[in-house]
Amino acid sequence: MVSKKNSILSHEEIQHKIKRIAYQIYESNVNEEEVILAGIDSNGYILAKKLKTVLSKISTINPILCKVIIDKKNPLSKINTSIPATEYTNKSVVLIDDVLNSGTTLVYGVKHFLDVPLKQFKTAVLVNRNHKKYPVKADFKGISLSTSLHEHIDVVLEGTNCEAFLK
């Protein structure tokens, strides 16, 4: 059986959502000199880089990128970050991923950052699905979508034609 792709966000819509999320991050960190954009490896990190570009244009906040490496098949294994914990201690952190499905990846990412005293902690996702196993929420989201458990959301953020689609 061939799976159908249904576009849920076009390239232009994704750019608009990224800009809107960047403004929300700015508004919640307006008094901060810097904010840590902690992107979950692969698409979350790509989204964090795009948010950094927009934040740098719209504000005086210095956005610092941090790649969060989580084994999604074994989220209890050690989580690594591209910058040492001392770099985000007592700072404002935004944990970023492309899609919030069950909440597993995000909740283990949150758990990692709880070991360090932070000034503020928020989460951001491009697509928020309503199938959470854990009580984790996205503070900033591009779109909320009710889907069936059998459907899958793919997000393409690299290249010149970004897209989010339902399979």
Mean pLDDT of 112-127: 94
List, in order, residues 6 or more apart from 129 with CB less than 8 Å away. 99, 100, 101, 144, 145, 146, 147, 153
pLDDT at site 51? 97
The pTM for the full model equals 0.91
Residue 124 pLDDT level (bands cut at 50, 70, 90): very high
**What tokens does 22 get?**
């960047």
Q: Which DSSP string corresponds to 16-44?
A: HHHHHHHHHHHHHTTT-SEEEEEEETTHH
| Cα 87 versus chain centre, distance | 19
Distances (CA, A) of 52 to 41, 101, 115: 15, 24, 25
- Residue pair 143/127 in contact by the 8 Å Cβ criterion: yes
Residue 131 pLDDT level (bands cut at 50, 70, 90): low
Q: Is 48 helix (H, G, I), strand (E, B) or coil?
A: helix
Q: Is 87 helix (H, G, I), strand (E, B) or coil?
A: helix
pLDDT above 90: percentage of residues in the chain = 60
Q: Which residue has the higher pLDDT, 103 or 119?
A: 119
Spatial separation of the C-alpha atoms in residues 141 and 139, rounded to whole Å: 7
pLDDT above 70: percentage of residues in the chain = 95
Nearest Cα to 153, choosing from 7, 11, 45?
7
Domains of the chain, with CATH numbers?
7-25+33-166 (3.40.50.2020)
pLDDT at site 90? 96
